[in-house]
Amino acid sequence: MPLVNYATREITCKIVYYGPGRSGKTTNLHYIFEQVPNDRKGKMVSLATQTDRTLFFDFLPLDLGSISGFSTRFQLYTVPGQVYYQATRKLVLQGADGVVFVADSQARQLEENIESMQDLHANLADHGMDVRTTPLVIQYNKQDLPKGLILGVDELEDALNFRDVPSFPADALHGLGVFETLRGISELVLRRLSAGSTAGAR
């Protein structure tokens, strides 16, 4: 659920980057953080325990407009992807307004991508969130690797994108597709918020 601050006229939305271990979630966040001007972002925070860490920071988008006179602020989170961090992933996902699923395009990672997508759906359902209507986009990261090592976007779509959500090929390390992905999920979240505020105004 978005947080509404009537004093500052800001709506804060939470976007979670989800996916298997080492798929590029943290790389996405670091790239975005480096590119966003200092006056438009908060600090990057690492919530670290001995065994895992969750990164997050918040920023004011530059050109995504306002809703009913409120400016929008996005908080971006990553979750640890490794299987044994199930509890942390579930906790971070709570209250998410949108999800970016970062898939690893390497052919040998396909099974992990599928398992992580199933894990995402199970955790959303556990939080009482409707899997079919929760704003979601998929990023196919590492598309820059040699063709023999990776699956093409069409193959990945067949395996992972059964909801036919927006998807983006990417090379997060060099920034290719990173902001396109972020814009894609931001627009879905804002569209849902706008629909809600319009419905509430009737």
Q: Which amino acid appears at position 178 of this protein?
A: V
Integer Cα distance of 167 and 155 in angstroms: 13
Please list, in sequence order, all residues whose beta carbon lies within 8 angstroms of the beta carbon of residue 38, skipping any fewer than 6 positions away: none
Residue 79's pLDDT is 86
Q: Could you give the CA distance from residue 48 to residue 37 in angstroms, rounded to a whole number?
A: 25
Confidence of residue 110 (pLDDT cuts 50, 70, 90): very high
- pLDDT above 90: percentage of residues in the chain: 68
Task: Indicate the residue type of 92.
Answer: V
Interval 28-60: pLDDT, tens: 999 999 999 999 999 999 877 666 678 888 988
Q: Tokens representing 141? A: 């990261």
pLDDT of residue 91: 87
Please answer whether residues 78 and 32 qualify as being in contact, where contact means their C-beta atoms are separated by less than 8 angstroms: no
The CA radius of gyration of the chain, in Å to the nearest whole number, is 16
Q: Does the predicted TM-score (pTM) go above 0.85?
A: yes
Q: How confident is the model at residue 195 (pLDDT cuts 50, 70, 90)?
A: confident
Exposure letters 30-65 (e unless 16+ CB within 10 A, then b) = bbbbeebeeeebeebeeeeeeebebbbbbbbbeebe
Question: What pLDDT score does 34 carry?
Answer: 95
Q: Helix %, strand %, coil % for the chain, to 5? A: 40, 25, 35
Kindly tell me if the per-residue pLDDT of 63 is higher than 80.
no
Kindly list the structural domains of the chain, giving each domain's residue range(s) and its CATH number in brackets, ordered by start. 3-195 (3.40.50.300)
Q: 54-63, 102-111, 166-175: which range is least confident on average?
A: 54-63
